[in-house]
């Protein structure tokens, strides 16, 4: 089956070459690459052309996490569509080949893998990826819709969890059920709706794509609020107040033990993790306060103020 890789891009020159290189190294031949470019003003287009990508222009102000990805689907010639992002790269050269094999079962409509943080000095060491258990493939389906609807939030989230950093779909499935018009959670919405249709999906944690955003206080706060807003709007999910002290204590412990880091680096990452976790904590608490006192209208008002623009991750280097 022919594979098309679809990547939304905006000023991604810093990371795009690594992403595209990992795709061109795949054991599958003749992979089509589509870059959905949101009017970049860096060298991203030249890099994309270097790797023989087809560039689709996304007019200024029109990017939408759901609809823009649908545009990629409409231009794709592949039978299977793999979605990722500009600052991710595939961990193994046969990742796409392994993913494609899952579609030998005609009932499988989508496959999702696992995103992880690479073991690199400019990435948060607390998040470095290290597999500690044998990956187990999960076949996800809903056999009883009412039972699913009545399940608790954690059980629903576990079944629906999806990630367009490392996901592959049958094109026919996306044509029948395109992504929703939304600025966040288009992957989770699609997964929920696909399962409700009775489709089968697969989660294969052995399929790893590396991805990282340098998350300071403001970025962590905005992303957490955007995620909570969309999860509440589409699924009626509410966040739990997270534990702030224990994760921070664990991060300090692991950073202190890390022999690869100098003292200055350890102090930097302690501060970084504190601010990032504090941003997420305050965002969750603020969301719950607005929900308690003002309901959906108050949440909507706060969301429009905090997330007037889609939060964009960056790759800040440590010096």
Note the pLDDT of residue 253. 95
Q: Supply the mean pLDDT for the chain.
A: 94
Write out pLDDT tens, residues 147-168.
999 999 999 999 999 999 999 9
Note the pLDDT of residue 307. 86
With a cut of 50, list the residues of the chain below it in pLDDT: 318-319
The residues with which 8 forms a beta bridge, in sequence order, are: 36
Closest CA to 114 of 179, 182, 159, 161: 161
Is residue 71 a contact partner of residue 181, using CB atoms and an 8 Å limit? no
Q: What 8-state DSSP symbol labels residue 318? A: P
Q: Which residue is listed with tokens 């690459």?
A: 33
Q: Are strands 138-140 and 32-37 parallel, antiparallel or unpaired?
A: unpaired
Note the pLDDT of residue 144. 94
Q: What 8-state DSSP symbol labels residue 117? A: B
- CA dihedral sign, ordered 281, 120, 19, 59: positive
> What are the sequence ranges of the domains in the chain?
3-211, 217-306
The CATH label, of 3.90.550.10, 3.30.70.980, 3.20.20.70, 3.40.50.300, for the domain at 3-211 is 3.90.550.10
Note the pLDDT of residue 208. 97
Note the pLDDT of residue 213. 92
Q: How far apart are CA 163 and CA 96, in angstroms?
A: 15
pTM tops 0.85 = yes
């Amino acid at each position: 089956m022919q594979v098309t890789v679809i990547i939304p891009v905006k000023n991604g020159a810093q990371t795009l070459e690594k992403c595209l290189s990992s795709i061109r190294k795949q054991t599958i031949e003749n992979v089509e690459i589509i870059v959905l470019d949101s009017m970049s003003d860096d060298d991203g287009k030249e890099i994309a052309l270097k790797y023989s990508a087809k560039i689709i222009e996304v007019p200024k102000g029109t990017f939408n996490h759901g609809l823009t990805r649908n545009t990629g689907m409409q231009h794709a010639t592949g039978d299977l569509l793999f979605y990722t992002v500009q600052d991710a790269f595939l961990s193994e050269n046969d990742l796409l080949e392994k993913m494609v094999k899952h579609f030998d079962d005609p009932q499988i409509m989508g496959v999702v893998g696992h995103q992880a943080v690479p073991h690199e000095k400019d990435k948060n060491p607390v998040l470095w990826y290290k597999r500690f258990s044998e990956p187990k493939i999960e076949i996800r389906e809903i056999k009883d819709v009412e039972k699913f609807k009545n399940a608790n939030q954690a059980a629903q989230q576990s079944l629906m969890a999806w990630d367009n950093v490392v996901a592959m779909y049958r094109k026919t499935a996306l044509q029948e059920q395109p992504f929703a018009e939304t600025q966040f959670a288009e992957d989770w919405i699609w997964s929920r709706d696909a399962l409700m249709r009775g489709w089968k999906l697969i989660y294969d944690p052995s399929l790893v794509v590396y991805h990282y955003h340098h998350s300071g206080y403001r970025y962590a706060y905005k992303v957490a609020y955007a995620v909570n807003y969309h999860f509440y709007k589409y699924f009626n999910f509410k966040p739990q107040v997270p534990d702030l002290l224990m994760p921070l204590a664990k991060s300090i412990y692991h950073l202190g033990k890390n022999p690869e880091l100098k003292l200055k680096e350890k102090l930097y990452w302690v501060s970084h993790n504190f601010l990032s976790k504090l941003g997420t904590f305050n965002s969750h608490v603020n969301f719950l306060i607005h929900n308690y006192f003002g309901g959906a209208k108050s949440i909507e008002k706060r969301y429009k103020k905090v997330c007037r623009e889609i939060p964009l991750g960056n790759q800040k280097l440590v010096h």
